[in-house]
Amino acid sequence: MAFDASGKGRRWIIVAGLFLFLAINFADKSLIGLAAGPIMRDLHLTHAAFGRIAASFYALFSVSALLVGLLANRVKTRWLLFGMAVIWSLSQAPLLLYATPATLLASRILLGASEGPAFPVAVHALYKWFPDHERMLPSALLTIGAAFGAGFIAPGITAVIAAYGWHAAFQLLAVVGLVWSAAWLRVGQEGPLGMHDGQRGQGEHATAQARPDLHALPARVPLRVLLLARTCVGCDLGGFAAYVMLTVATVWLPSYLTRVGGYSIEQVGWIVVLPAFGQMIASPALSGGSQWLMKRGISSRHARGTLGAAAVVASGGALALMPFVPVGPLLIATVTLAFSLASFTFVTGVTLAGEIVPGAQRGGVLGINICITTLAGLITPAVMGWIIDRAADVVTGYRLGMMVAGGFSVIAGLLAAWLIHPDADRRRFIARAQAAHPALADSNRPGSQSARHTVQ
C-alpha cells in the first residue's frame, strides 16, 4: 500500500521501524547479561574481568554517539540508521569463529560503537515527522521498543542459550539485525520536518501555533550555551542515573537473580520480562499524564521535568531497597518497579531538548547528551564487578552494589528535578539573541509584521 511521504500513515510506519530498531538494539545489549553465567564459566572470567568486558561495550559508545549525532545534522538519518544496524550485526561475527576473552572484548567494543548513536539518531529521525506538541506518544513508543528488546525478547534468548549455547544467541541476533536493515532500505524515509539548511522548518511553525511563546527561539544558539543550560544539565543527570539502572539491569540483574535469588536461568528469562512489561505500561501512561497536565496549564518544567525526575527517584529507591527484600513475589515486584519507571526520563529528556534546542542543532545536541548519559554504562559494570569481588562474599557484594546504584540514582533524580527549567532557558536564549541583534527584539514583539508572519 502506498503512502504519501508527508502523510500520517507513513509516519507511523516509521515509528514501527524505529520501534523494532531499538528493540534489536537493546536485545543485543541485554544478551551479555543473560549469558553472564555461561560466558564466565566457559571463558574462565572473574566477576571483575567480566565487568570490564561488559563495560567495554561503552568504550566508544559515547564518542560514537557524539560524532554520529553531529553528523546527523548533515546526513540523512535513513542512511545512518541502516549503517549502524549493519555494523552492529557484523560485529558479532568474531564470536562465531573464535570465542575468547579477547574476541568478546573486541566484539563488544565494536558493537557499542555502532549502537551508541542509535537512540539519539532514532529520536532525531522521529522528530522530523512530529512537531513538538505531538512528540510525547511516539517518543514513549521508542522507549517501549527498548523495553521490548531488553525484556520481552529475553525468554527467547534464554531458551536459545539453554538449548544451543550462548554462541547461537549471538548468531541469532546478528541475523535479525541484518533482516531489519534490508527492510529499512525499503520503508525508511526522511520526514518533512527536517531542517538541514539551518532554517526554521514546518515543525517549528507547527510548534509555534501550539505554543506561541516559542516563535522567537533563535535559529541557532552557541553549543556551549545549550549544553550548560540548566535543563540540559538536569536531563543529563536524570538520564545518567537512569542509565546506571539500565546497565545494572542488562549486565548484573540476571546473575543477581541466580546468585542471590536462587532462580534458574530459564526463570530469570521470564522474570526480566516484568520490568519490560512495566515500562510498556508506565511510559505511555506517564506520557499521557504529562500531556494531560500541559493541556491544563501545568508548565513543561513540572509536567515533563519533575515527572521524569520523580520516576528516576522512585526507581532508585526501589533498587536501594531490593537487597533487603526477601526472595519471592515481593522481590519480583521490587525488581519490576526498580527497572521499569526510570526509562521515562529518556522520553522527557528528548522532548525537553526539543523545546529548547533549535531544530538545525537538535541531532548534535542529542548526540552529545547521550554521550554524557551513557558514560554510566562505561562506569557501572566495572564498579559493580569491583564491589562484588572485594566484598566478604559474592552475595554481600551484589547487595552492596545494588544499594550504591540505587542511592546514587535517588540523589541524581532530586538534583535533576531542581535544575530542569525549559521556560527560563528559552527566555535566556531569546534575550541573548536579541542583545546580539537588537533588530530581532522589534521584529519579534507581539503584533509586529514579522512576528505575525512567524506564527501563521
Helix segments in 272-421, DSSP class H: 273-295, 300, 307-321, 329-338, 344-356, 362-373, 375-390, 394-419
Report the pLDDT value the prediction gives residue 92, as an integer from 0 to 100: 79
Grid coordinates representing 433? 539573541
Domain architecture of the chain: domains with CATH: 10-193+205-434 (1.20.1250.20)
Rounded to whole angstroms, how far apart are CA atoms 196 and 199?
8
The per-residue pLDDT for 316 is 96
Q: Is the pLDDT of residue 67 over 70?
A: yes
HEC profile for 38-86?
A: HHHHHHCCCHHHHHHHHHHCCCCHHHHHHHHHHHCCCCCHHHHHHHHHH
- The whole-angstrom separation of Cα 9 and Cα 305 is 31
Task: State the Cα–Cα distance between residues 314 and 143, nearest whole angstrom.
Answer: 18
* Residue-level pLDDT at 150: 65
Q: Distance between CA atoms of 281 and 283, rounded to whole angstroms?
A: 6
N residues, the chain? 456
Q: What is the CA 72 to chain-centroid distance, rounded?
A: 17
Gap between the Cα atoms of 378 and 353, Å rounded: 24
Q: How far, in Å, CA of 131 to CA of 205, rounded?
A: 9
Cell of 212: 506561541
* Better-predicted residue by pLDDT, 324 or 120: 324
pTM of the model: 0.69
Average pLDDT, the chain: 81
- Residue 10 CA to residue 15 CA, distance in Å, equals 9
Closest C-alpha to 131, from 290, 330, 351, 309: 351
Angle at which helices 307-321 and 344-356 pack, to 10 degrees? 150
Whole-number Å distance between alpha carbons of 214 and 63: 31
The whole-number pLDDT of residue 455 equals: 31
Q: Where are the alpha helices (DSSP H) in 72-165?
A: 77-90, 93-97, 101-115, 118-127, 136-147, 154-164
51 vs 290, residue with greater confidence: 290
Rg of the Cα atoms in the chain = 22
Amino acid 216: pLDDT: 58
The reported pLDDT for the residue numbered 398 is 92
Residue 212 pLDDT: 41
Neighbours of 25 (CB within 10 A): 25
- pLDDT tens-digit profile of 385-432? 889 888 888 889 999 999 999 999 999 999 999 999 999 998 888 888
Over residues 80-88, the mean pLDDT reads 90
Distance, in Å, from the CA atom of 89 to the CA atom of 109, rounded to the nearest integer, reads 13
**H-helix segments, 188-303:** 202-210, 223-228, 230-247, 253-259, 265-271, 273-295, 300
**Side-chain half-sphere CA neighbours of 415 within 13 A:** 17
Q: Work out the number of other CB atoms within 10 angstroms of the CB of residue 223.
A: 14
Share of the chain above pLDDT 90, in %: 21
CA distances from 76 to 69, 100, 189, 238 (A): 11, 37, 9, 29
Q: Which three cell numbers stand for residue 144?
A: 517501549
What would the pLDDT profile of 204-225 be if each residue is shown by its tens digit?
444 444 444 444 567 788 888 8
What are residue 100's phi and psi, to 5 degrees? Answer: -140, 170
Q: Express as a percent the part of the chain with pLDDT over 70.
A: 87
Phi and psi, residue 193, nearest 5°: -100, 15
Q: Give the closest residue to 361 by CA, choosing from 197, 237, 236, 209.
A: 197
Over range 124-144, report the average pLDDT: 79
255's CB contacts (< 8 A; 6+ apart) are: 33, 36, 37, 398
